[in-house]
Every structure is written in structure tokens, then in C-alpha cells.
Amino acid sequence: MAVVVLVLGVLFVLCFCSALLRWNEMRYRKKGLPPGTMGWPVFGETTEFLKQGPNFMKNQRARYGSFFKSHILGCPTIVSMDPELNKYILMNEAKGLVPGYPQSMLDVLGNCNIAAVHGSTHKYMRGALLSLISPTIIRDQILPKIDEFMRTHLSDWDNKVVDLQEKTKEMALLSSLKQIAGAESVLISPTFKPEFFKLVLGTLSLPIDLPGTNYRNGLQARKNIVSMLRKLIEERRASKEDHQDMLSCLMRNEENRYKLTDEEIIDQIITILYSGYETVSTTSMMAVKYLHDHPRVLQELREEHLAIRERKSPGDPIEWNDLKSMKFTRAVIFETSRLATIVNGVLRKTTHDMELNGFVIPEGWRIYVYTREINYDPFLYPEPLTFNPWRWLDKRMESQSYLFIFGGGTRQCPGKELGIAEISTFLHYFVTRYRWEEVGGDKLMKFPRVEAPNGLHIRVSSH
Ligand code: HEM
């Protein structure tokens, strides 16, 4: 009897689940939507997406083509894996394809954050940002700060086991902070750093505003960071001292083409810190990982940097011409970003019902412009799973139209050259000063983000 009840129970559960899935599919069986599956009510296919990672995307593409619907991370979503369409989506924000980042990210990063603004406001905020990081400013003001920072940051690693992930994260944050707040950055960094790390966690959380949640902590961290920056702005106004850094450029209202309110200045600073944080730190960490695993690449990179050092006295900083001569380093950075896929794609959402690729996409649906697979296309990158920086020495590679490592269209990364300058300077001091070996046993995750859950430990000694 018990067996019969058990079998009936299992049958009932199976029937119920299958009916639920069917009902959920029917809800979305509106005419005109792309093919695909929507999974469970509320949860959609998030579990499969996170568990199977890139394979989930590849399987769905094999069944439904390069443009399919799903329900992931709490939203009905269209996944676009078609390079031509991806280009079209990124170029056509004006047609209603605006950034579609999660609510928690927008709440924590602020209303004037670049991802939260569209149209003319976006143009204005982007223009203001670009004016802070023009090639001339990088050459004259930012590069000397990066150089000074990297020398100190990399000064005492000899004979130590360091967690490279922790060090590159710290490097990305504190180097940006120095570019923003010059000398004062050293004073504020001990209080700033823990708040910033909480802010980052808050942007990646579910928007549940309860005590102890990452979201609540992220909002609180934002408040603390805003008050620290506001205090800094007020002190600078009171002292009237002249500074040569990003904050002083943002505050110089009279001569500035872009006049920002204090609220906009603060959100612009948070944008710069946040956008360059994980991208620069993870690329730097993965570059070191690949260099460790590919001694021939390391040798060529080291030769490039030792040649630069030979032209200089020991204390001389890296200058613009040195940076421009780092052709192989640049190639290593591009190959690292490609092979590790630091950025899987970007998110957009529709502001109204619209036709796309012959389908109708409802208002408010998210579009995941998923660019990861392009990085492993054997027609674009022969032997795509091999770490081969030499492929980037052909200059045409950087301008090919399907390269989305730094995004594309109207929101293409404005910090690309700044990021490359930071990573190059970091690699310069790292490979000219040190040898290293991995302690071993550390796990590396590639999806949904590239990270070492328990750190990436290396044993460092002088070169
Ligand atoms: C290796 C380093 C970097 C990588 C791989 C990278 C990648 C990207 C990508 C893929 C996008 C497009 C996002 C989208 O379309 O929604 C983007 C946008 C952006 N990046 Fe970067 N980035 C890097 C470094 C930096 C740095 C150092 C900064 C600092 C200024 C920065 C600032 C930004 C900003 C502000 C945007 C938004 C632009 C807009 O919405 O108009 N990035 N980045």
C-alpha cells in the first residue's frame, strides 16, 4: 500500500511540475516572440543558466538559433548571440535600446550614474568623463600618478606569498582613487576601501532591503562614500588650493565646458571607480596567470620591459613613449581579455514594444547582448583556446567590427586606454622586479564572473 501511495505521490508531483512549466510557457506564447523556453514561474531558467554557464547558452542556441527568449536573473530576457544583431543593438540606443542593468546596481551607483542616464544627459555625462581622461591628460597627469602608485604597490612583495586577486583588486581601486583625489587619496583610502567593497557587493545583490543583506549594506556604503566625497569637495572649496587631479577638473566649473552639480560629480567619481575596478583587476590577475602558464610569452614580455628599463635610470618613471612602445604587452592584455572573457556581454532593455530581427520584443524586456562566443570563433581566432598574444600584433585585429571586449556603439568603453595604461604599468613593475610561482590548489571560476573564490596565491621572489 505504502509503495502505491509513494508512486501516486511521485506521479502527482511530476504531473504538477509539468503542468506548471506548460502553463508558464503558455503565458509567454504571445505571437511574435522569438523561440525559447521560460522555465519556472518567477525563477525562470536562472538555476540552469548559473549551473551550466556558457553551455546553457550554447545548448539553447543549438535548439532555437542565435536569438532566443528565456527568463534569467528575475527578468524575461532575449539572448542575442548574433554578431550583426549585437552590433545593431549597441548602435541603436536612440531607438529605445537603453542599458538594462539590475535595479540593485542602479540604486547603489546613483541616479546620475552613466548606466542610469540616457539621451542628451548620457551624452553630457559621457563628454564630461571623456574630458577627464583624454590622451593628453593621461600622458601629462594620470600616467605619472599610475607610475608612482604601482612602484609603491609592488615594492614589498619579495619573499612573500601574496593573494594576487586581493592585490590586483586593491591596485585597481587605489590607483583610481589616486587619479581622482591625488594626495588626499592616501588619507581617505583606509576608510574608503571597506565601504567600496561593500558597495560593489551591493550592486551584485538581489534588491531586498532588509538588515544584513548585501543590498542594504551596499546602500549604506553608498551613503558613507557620498558623505566622504562631499566632505572632500567642501574642504577643497574652503582651502582654494590648486590640485591636479580628476576631482579638481570636475570642480573647476568656470573654465569647464561640462558643468556638473555636486551630486553629478560624486556619481561620476563612483562611476569611474566602479567601471574600472573589476575589469582592470581581473584582467591583471588573469594576465599574470597566463604568463605563468606560458613561459615563452613571459620571456618576450619581460624582454620588452627590460629593454625599456635599459633606456632609463633605475628611478625613472614610465612615460607616454614607453607606454606606446609596449606593443607586446598590449597584445597580452587583449589576448587575456579574449581568452578569459572578462566581460561576457552587456545588458540592454526595451523602452517600448519593438520589432527586432523579425520578432516583437515587449516593452521592458531585457536583452542580453551575449558576446562571449565571438571570443572563441575559430574563423576570427584560429585555435581559439590557445593563449597566443602574437595574433594581436596584426593591428587590424583591434579594429575588426566584431570585437566587443570593450563593448561597442554609443556606450563603448571610454576608459579603454586608461585601463590598458594601468595594466601595462602594473605588468612592467611586476615582471621586471619579480619571479613567481603559484602556490597551487586555488580554484578559478570562469562563469558568471572570472574569479578565484579563495584567492590566487603566488610565491614571489626578486628577479
Ligand atoms: C580592461 C579594462 C576594461 C574593460 C574590459 C572594460 C569593458 C567595458 C565594457 C564591455 C563596457 C560596455 C558596457 C555597456 O555597453 O553596457 C564598458 C563601459 C564603460 N567603461 Fe569600461 N572597461 C575597462 C576599463 C575601464 C576603466 C579603467 C574605466 C574608467 C574610466 C571604464 C569606464 C567605463 C564607463 C564609464 C563605461 C560606460 C560608458 C557609457 O555608458 O557610455 N572602463 N567598459
Full pLDDT tens readout for the chain, 463 residues? 677 666 667 777 777 677 766 766 667 777 799 999 998 787 889 899 988 989 999 999 999 999 999 999 889 999 999 999 999 999 999 999 999 999 999 999 999 999 999 999 999 999 999 999 999 999 999 999 999 999 999 999 999 999 999 999 999 999 999 999 998 999 999 999 999 999 999 999 988 999 999 999 999 999 999 999 999 999 999 998 889 999 999 998 777 788 999 999 999 999 999 999 999 999 999 999 999 999 999 999 999 999 999 999 989 999 999 999 999 999 999 999 999 999 999 999 999 999 999 999 999 999 999 999 999 999 999 999 999 999 999 989 999 988 999 999 999 999 999 999 999 999 999 999 999 999 999 999 999 899 999 999 999 999 8
Q: Which residues make beta-bridge pairs with 462?
A: 434
Residue 87 CA, distance from chain mean position: 19
Residue nearest ligand 1's atom 7 by CA: 406
Q: What is the mean pLDDT of the chain?
A: 94
Q: What is the pLDDT of residue 8?
A: 67
Nearest atom of ligand 1 to the alpha carbon of 271: 35
Residue nearest ligand 1's atom 42 by CA: 415
Which residues contribute to the annotated binding site?
413
User: What does the alpha-carbon distance between residue 77 and residue 101 come to, in Å, rounded to a whole number?
Assistant: 12
Nearest atom of ligand 1 to the alpha carbon of 125: 41
HSE of 274, CA atoms in CB hemisphere, 13 A: 26
Considering the domain boundaries, does residue 161 fall inside one? yes
Kind plus residue range of the DSSP H or E element containing 436? strand 434-438
Considering the domain boundaries, does residue 192 fall inside one? yes
Query: What separation in Å is there between the alpha carbon of 125 and the centre of ligand 1?
Result: 14
Considering the domain boundaries, does residue 321 fall inside one? yes
User: What does the alpha-carbon distance between residue 90 and residue 83 come to, in Å, rounded to a whole number?
Assistant: 11
Q: What is the pLDDT of residue 368?
A: 97
- What amino acid occupies position 67? F
User: What does the alpha-carbon distance between residue 171 and residue 150 come to, in Å, rounded to a whole number?
Assistant: 8
**Given ligand 1 and candidates 279, 332, 372, 418, which is best to mutate, with the most ligand atoms within 8 Å of its CB?**
279
- Residue 67, SS3 per DSSP: strand
In terms of Cα–Cα distance, which of 368, 297, 453 is closest to 90? 368
283-292 residue pLDDT tens: 999 999 999 9
**Given ligand 1 and candidates 413, 425, 449, which is best to mutate, with the most ligand atoms within 8 Å of its CB?**
413
First to last CA, the chain: 76
Considering the domain boundaries, does residue 56 fall inside one? no
308-343 residue pLDDT tens: 999 999 899 999 999 999 999 999 999 999 999 999
User: What does the alpha-carbon distance between residue 77 and residue 347 come to, in Å, rounded to a whole number?
Assistant: 10
**Full strand arrangement of the beta sheet holding 97-99:** 67-72, 75-80, 366-370, 345-350, 97-99
Residue nearest ligand 1's atom 12 by CA: 407
Q: What is the pLDDT of residue 222?
A: 98
Query: What separation in Å is there between the alpha carbon of 411 and the centre of ligand 1?
Result: 8
Nearest atom of ligand 1 to the alpha carbon of 343: 10
141-160 residue pLDDT tens: 999 999 999 999 999 999 99
Q: What is the pLDDT of residue 20?
A: 62
CATH for 303: 1.10.630.10
Exposure string over 347-383, b if 16+ CB within 10 A, otherwise e: bbbbeeebebbebebeeebbbbbbbbbbbeeeebbee
Considering the domain boundaries, does residue 114 fall inside one? yes
Residues with a CB atom less than 6 Å from ligand 1 = 99, 114-115, 126, 129, 133, 271-272, 275-276, 279-280, 283, 337, 342-343, 346, 405-407, 411, 413-415, 418-419
Its domain, for residue 296, covers 109-340+412-462
Which residues contribute to the annotated binding site for heme?
413
185-241 residue pLDDT tens: 999 999 999 999 999 999 999 889 999 999 999 999 999 999 999 999 999 999 988
441: left (phi over 0), alpha (psi -120 to 50) or beta: left
Q: Structurally, how many domains does the chain consist of? A: 1
Nearest atom of ligand 1 to the alpha carbon of 422: 27
Nearest atom of ligand 1 to the alpha carbon of 408: 15
Q: Which of the 8 DSSP states describes residue 355?
A: E
Residue nearest ligand 1's atom 30 by CA: 415
Q: What is the pLDDT of residue 7?
A: 67
Query: What separation in Å is there between the alpha carbon of 405 and the centre of ligand 1?
Result: 10
Q: Do 440 and 330 contact (CB within 8 A), yes or no?
A: no
Considering the domain boundaries, does residue 73 fall inside one? no
The secondary structure of 177-225 as a DSSP string is HHHHHTTHHHHHHHHHHHHHHHHHHHHTS----STT-HHHHHHHHHHHH
Q: Do 330 and 424 contact (CB within 8 A), yes or no?
A: yes
